[in-house]
Amino acid sequence: MRKFCIYGKGGIGKSTNVGNMAAALAEDGKKVLVVGCDPKADSTRTLMHGKINTVLDTFRDKGPEYMKIEDIVYEGFNGVYCVESGGPEPGVGCAGRGVITAVDMLDRLGVYDELKPDVVMYDILGDVVCGGFAMPLQKRLAEDVYIVTTCDPMAIYAANNICKGIQRYGNRGKIALGGIIYNGRSVVDEPEIIDKFVQGINTQVMGKIPMSNIITKAELRKQTTIEYAPDSEIANKFRELANAIYENKKTTIPTPLSEQGLDDLTESIEELVRKKYE
């Protein structure tokens, strides 16, 4: 069973990558399970053509003693199995609690033993690496982590924070960093910025997903790009990324940048922006 996490700042494109990679791996004949660990519960939206009931909602409605696998696991595009942890109502409770509840419930119901997936993908919010969102790292539910980022300074800041969490649990032998997924959707699209960041934190770039209106059109229809435009160049980019991560055996314990290192990188981004737009 190949198990990995996709982390990144909210809105950075985690779910876009996860949905398309899951569809691509399933297209290749693999049985895939996607576990959405974002309180927005939209990780599997393009695979399911809409939202599904979350683990937390079902937990509240039925109670844990009455829950069954079919209450929380749904089959989507290309046969991908989908689970959403969910979260509390806005302003009430801890969003990370949904991840903890989902992980415990998947174990209690024996989902992994029942489905026997070839690939398990966790889509996890990375704005803050609190206890709930770090649960897959703590419990070693995955072998490695991949971080989605753009050239935006705040996205890189979030990615660096995620590296701190990976470093903490990686030093205990629980998890490792597989690499960076470079999403070119930012106003600033400068690969050299990501190359500097990757070199600084001691990892590799797994692939780049360029900006494409095909992705936008597909998501407006609640579809993955793999389903909406299977023969497109961007669909092939997702296939290449999925295969690169599935086959990847090179992992590291990251060395997060210092505050000064982040400031230096931010200054280089600002300088590039000035040169490009002045």
Q: Which residues are annotated as a binding site?
A: 8-15, 94, 130
Q: Rounded to 5 degrees, what are φ and ψ at 117?
A: -70, 150
**Catalytic annotation, pick one of 28, 31, 40, 104:** 40
Is 222 considered catalytic here? no
127 is catalytic: yes
Q: Are 73 and 111 in contact (CB under 8 A)?
A: yes
Q: Is 174 a catalytic residue?
A: no
Catalytic residue among 14, 30, 196, 237: 14
- Binding-site residue set for [4Fe-4S] cluster: 94, 130
d(CA 157, CA 149) in angstroms, rounded, equals: 9
Catalytic residue among 38, 123, 127, 152: 127
Per DSSP, 258 falls in state: P
Integer Cα distance of 242 and 238 in angstroms: 6
Binding residues for ATP: 8-15
Query: Could you give the count of Cα atoms lying within 13 Å of 167 in the half-sphere of its Cβ?
Result: 13
Q: Do residues 27 and 17 make contact, with C-beta atoms less than 8 angstroms apart?
A: no
CB atoms closer than 10 angstroms to residue 158: 24
Contacts with 132 (C-beta within 8 Å, 6 or more apart), sequence order: 94, 95, 96, 97, 98, 99, 100
Is 62 an active-site residue?
Answer: no
Residue type, 42: D
Q: Where are the alpha helices (DSSP H) in 92-211?
A: 96-108, 111-115, 135-138, 153-170, 191-201
Please give the full DSSP string across 16-51, using - where no structure is assigned.
HHHHHHHHHHHHTT--EEEEEE-TT--TTHHHHTS-
Hey, how many other C-beta atoms are within 10 angstroms of the C-beta on 153? 18
What are the residue numbers of the active site?
Answer: 9, 14, 40, 127
